[in-house]
Structure 1
Amino acid sequence: MSMTGCSVVEAFRGNPDTTPEVRLLADLNPSMNVQPTPFLPNSFNINVETTPVVINDSLVPNQGAVKPAGQVNILLLGSDWRANSGYRTDVIMLISIYTKEEKVSIVSFPRDLWVTIPGVSEQRINTAQAYGGFPLTQKTFEYNFGISLDYYMMTNFNGFLSIIDNLGGIEINAAQNLTDRCDLSYAHGSTCSVGPGLATMDSETALWYVRSRYTSDDFDRTRRAQEVILGILKKVISINGVANAGEIYNTLSSSVVTDMTLGDIVPLISLTAKIINDPTRINTYAIGRSQVTSYVIPSSGANVLLPNYDAIWEVLKTALFTP
């Protein structure tokens, strides 16, 4: 790979024992095929530096790993889009379905992970979708992690609420207790508490659960988001999702932006019905504290997570390349 200068990511990879020099790199290519998603507002502003970078090949080779036959990779994105503002994808979760082995891996990526957005700059990973829609997000995952994404599904706060409302609520299995500030109707004073163990949630509770941050951190939010996604999948299957796939698809289509057709989804729902209630067939992973280093960018004071690509690869190899 050829670059003008040394990037944050490369400096960290080359010598993890030293503090990297921060240089934001950008190559704003007007010919890039940028495809905003329907959630993208008419105008948005994301700050980009202007030092050019030349990207010739993959930053992180996947050590010759080959995508297993029959594997389907679906990226789930939860955005913070609101009217008249920009957005970022604060939930980034890859669901990898091994159709032959009838297994599922779920891998979560932290929103502040500092990566190269091809043709743009070094940025947090949660900006890729806003810059160039799913095509750029695909390139970002391929470039940084050697992962081939097949489809995506994206929703925002209102869409998330609508999904759970239309399902009539969900049940999750909380691994830990969460007690945090909330303004829900059943709050005790100014706090709410969930778990550990099974908990039934309406949409407002589920949104509070995945977004709460005062008594926890983003890594804990990652786990909670996975619990809610599993709760949604279980609820879809429990209401005979296979037979009612068309109706469910039509009902939820106004809440989700996706490139998946009903024909893409039906066989995966059928497979999910076999998997979802068997914990031995579902494995959850996260790029967490052991795979990143917290870093403050001097020029802006922004907190980001520098990736340790060797450690990240060990997670991805197990989750995505080992049927």
Structure 2
Amino acid sequence: MHEPDRHGDLLTAPAAESAPPIAPSERPARRRPRGFVAAVIAGALVLVAASGAMALLGYRTSLDENIERIEDPFAGIDPATRPTPPPAAGPDAPVNILMLGSDSRISAGDPEAWEFGAQRTDAILLLHLSADRQSAAAISIPRDSWVPIPGYGEAKVNAAFSYGGPSLMIETVENLTGVRIDHFAVADFESFTTLTDTLGGVEITVPDGAGGSVEQRMTGEEALEFTRERYNLANGDFGRVQRQQAWMRAIAVQVTEDRTDVVKMSRFLGALTRSVSVDEGLTIDKMQDLVLSSREISTGDIAFMTAPYSGTGRSADGQSIVVLDRAVFDPLMEAVAADEVPDFLAATPEGIDRLPAVVQ
């Protein structure tokens, strides 16, 4: 059974006709603040961070009702096959969240609506929060990575969600990485346009065409088109992954800067909680505990990166695939499992595709 080579996700679609040039922001450069939680990234960490403001805004119950819950996706996985969770290195344990960007978020939270082969996920992000709550890592796994999928042989990693929903996706990533997943979330990435607009747009640093860079303030639609581009990028899909991460980072920065604006945060939280599905174990109380323990993390403490890859190729049945560089990928994942990511990155300057300050 072969995965269709053409994906119908919103993020897989070619970019629409180019929008008019976006005027650079004339605001002076701003210091990126600490506090609250700058792990407001990629939906899942955004959700964790934003939840810390619920009590203050008085929306705890109503926002909780907005969030779509996925019936325990871990229940269908044989416990004997799962990685052993690491012991807590401090007052808190490390947390790993598997985050997907999908074109079918609602059905992901409704098992009765799930259809074999119908749900696609384009963005796959492994989010790691350190036990000491001093750092975080956001590791994108290319959707075309050729990996073993339990019960189906080798296929593109995003086929796992199509074949077996959240449970098979979690099992596939755990088998691939050796990292135990604690929580699972699916975001409707189209809704990131709304999230962006509730913040009044976000600033993303891009080349200025003269060898320098400039911060461009983008609306939600402009940012979406920015992340959809792939064919005109020198690095193709890998460049698109970095653009997605740059958008997530920009949202994180804007939220930390606007966190005292009650009206803006109220709109943001409403849009946010309507855009995600999470496993039923990620309760409001759990979210609030995470944000309180992570309040010292800043955006600079979050390492955005793409899973190490050696290039692209073709599968035996002719599909275009990404070949992971297991010589670097496996040690990186061992560092995640052992909660030693900062030390690993400091000792491994080569072979890790980190998100640059300026995205192409």
**1:257 paired to 2:277:** yes
Partner of 1:231: 250
Partner of 2:170: 138
Deviation at 1:111, TM superposition (A): 0.7
Gap runs ≥5 in structure 1: 1-37, 41-54, 180-194
Q: Aligned letter for 1:261?
A: T
Question: How many angstroms apart in 2 are the aligned matches of 1:178 and 1:93?
Answer: 29
**1:221 paired to 2:240:** yes
Question: How many angstroms apart in 1 are the aligned matches of 2:306 and 2:132?
Answer: 24
Indicate if the aligned counterparts of 1:99 and 1:271 stay in contact, CA closer than 8 A: no
Question: How many angstroms apart in 1 are the aligned matches of 2:193 and 2:139?
Answer: 23
- The SS at the match of 2:119 is coil
Deviation at 1:119, TM superposition (A): 2.5
Indicate if the aligned counterparts of 1:173 and 1:198 stay in contact, CA closer than 8 A: yes
Which of 144, 149, 156 is the aligned partner of 1:117?
Answer: 149
Which of 218, 227, 240 is the aligned partner of 1:210?
Answer: 227
Closer/same/farther in 2, CA of residues 91 and 293 from structure 1, 3 Å limit: same
Which of 307, 310, 314 is the aligned partner of 2:331?
Answer: 314
Question: What percent identity do the matched residue pairs reach?
Answer: 27
Indicate if the aligned counterparts of 1:39 and 1:81 stay in contact, CA closer than 8 A: no
TM-score by length of structure 1 reads 0.64
Gap runs ≥5 in structure 2: 1-67, 71-77, 108-114, 342-360
Indicate if the aligned counterparts of 2:194 and 2:271 stay in contact, CA closer than 8 A: no
Closer/same/farther in 2, CA of residues 205 and 155 from structure 1, 3 Å limit: same
- The SS at the match of 1:314 is helix
Residues 149-228 of structure 1: pairs in structure 2 closer than 5 A: 149-174=181-206, 177=207, 196-216=213-233, 217-228=236-247
Deviation at 1:303, TM superposition (A): 0.5
Q: Aligned letter for 1:210?
A: T
Indicate if the aligned counterparts of 1:111 and 1:125 stay in contact, CA closer than 8 A: yes
Q: Aligned letter for 1:169?
A: G
Partner of 1:75: 98
Q: Aligned letter for 1:276?
A: S
Closer/same/farther in 2, CA of residues 264 and 237 from structure 1, 3 Å limit: farther
Residues 59-70 of structure 1: pairs in structure 2 closer than 5 A: 66=86, 69=89, 70=93
Question: How many angstroms apart in 1 are the aligned matches of 2:261 and 2:217?
Answer: 23
Question: How many angstroms apart in 2 are the aligned matches of 1:292 and 1:154?
Answer: 28
Deviation at 1:161, TM superposition (A): 2.0
Indicate if the aligned counterparts of 1:159 and 1:256 stay in contact, CA closer than 8 A: no
Question: What's the Cα RMSD here?
Answer: 3.8
Q: Greater relative contact order (Cα 8 A, min sep 6): structure 1 or 2?
A: 2
Closer/same/farther in 2, CA of residues 313 and 169 from structure 1, 3 Å limit: same
Question: How many angstroms apart in 1 are the aligned matches of 2:194 and 2:69?
Answer: 15
Deviation at 1:95, TM superposition (A): 1.6
TM-score by length of structure 2 reads 0.58
Question: How many angstroms apart in 1 are the aligned matches of 2:122 and 2:202?
Answer: 21
Deviation at 1:67, TM superposition (A): 6.5
Q: Aligned letter for 2:333?
A: L
Partner of 2:314: 296
